[in-house]
Amino acid sequence: MIDINDLWIGDLLRLKRSGRIGRYQGESDDGRLRVKVGEKMILVRPQNLESVKESEHDEKLKQLKQNELEVKLSGRSLVPQIDLHIEKLNPSLVNALPERIADFQVKAFEEYMDEILRSHFKFITIIHGKGTGVLRAHIHSYLNTMDEVNAFHLINNDGATEVILK
């Protein structure tokens, strides 16, 4: 069990039940700990958490990235990255109504996630662009509902999201 007195804001913690990793954000009034996993804040009892060393977490991320690169180079057609810019997905829709473009992007993202979950990828990148943030918000909301997602965070000046799958 974790000793609350040894925790600092921002320390890495693993939820024992799901294996998800998040950062300590403080204690709630009822004694549960606030842990930020991806974009979501979770309240967890201390006995359901374990400490994660920063170096151990960084090493695991490096290994996941290396494994993904090896899979990508082994000739698989599915790659651990999707670019949701409409000019990449379907250039014929560049001048379409924004609602039609957004619908197409959301559908492409959801189909991609279905394929990814059937693959062996554990680390993917979703390029959504900065824009108004509507597509990014949908993607993050969708990822928050998925049990297969271990964690995710923004990269590339908030223009992409890196996702770690279980």
**Can you list the domains of the chain with their CATH numbers?**
4-51 (2.30.30), 54-165 (3.30.1370.110)
Contact 99, 124 (CB under 8 A): no
pLDDT at 57: 58
Lowest mean pLDDT among 13-17, 28-32, 108-112: 13-17
| Alpha-carbon gap, residue 128 to 146, rounded angstroms | 18
Average pLDDT over residues 31-52: 90
Specify the pLDDT at position 64. Answer: 62
Q: pLDDT-derived band of residue 39, with 50, 70 and 90 as boundaries?
A: confident
Give the range among 31-35, 45-49, 77-81 with minimum mean pLDDT.
77-81
Question: What are the start-end ranges of the E strands in 16-142?
Answer: 21-27, 33-37, 40-44, 49-51, 81-83, 123-127
Looking only at the bridges linking them, the beta strands covering 123-127 and 149-155 are: unpaired
pLDDT digits (tens, 9 = 90+) for 61-109: 666 665 555 554 444 457 889 999 999 888 888 888 888 899 999 999 9
